[in-house]
Structure 1
């Protein structure tokens, strides 16, 4: 995929998600599940 590692992809995703959460005035948490899914949860502040 585009010559980047999965970890680099997740780092980029983290930047996008944190910007989105800030814009939405929410907090978020993230984790990688046992099945290698990147799970994100947004919470209202």
Structure 2
């Protein structure tokens, strides 16, 4: 299960690094809900 999650996260970062797609927006909301939204700044920094 962890491998699948890691692979999915890597695919998301490759395809939608700014989390702008509908799925990216949903992930952004989840990051906020779980208080992990600082990760969004890190994604933008590259």
The TM tier, using the shorter chain, reads 0.3 to 0.5
- Which one has the bigger helix percentage? 2
Question: Of the two, which has the highest radius of gyration?
Answer: 1
- TM (norm. structure 2) is 0.36
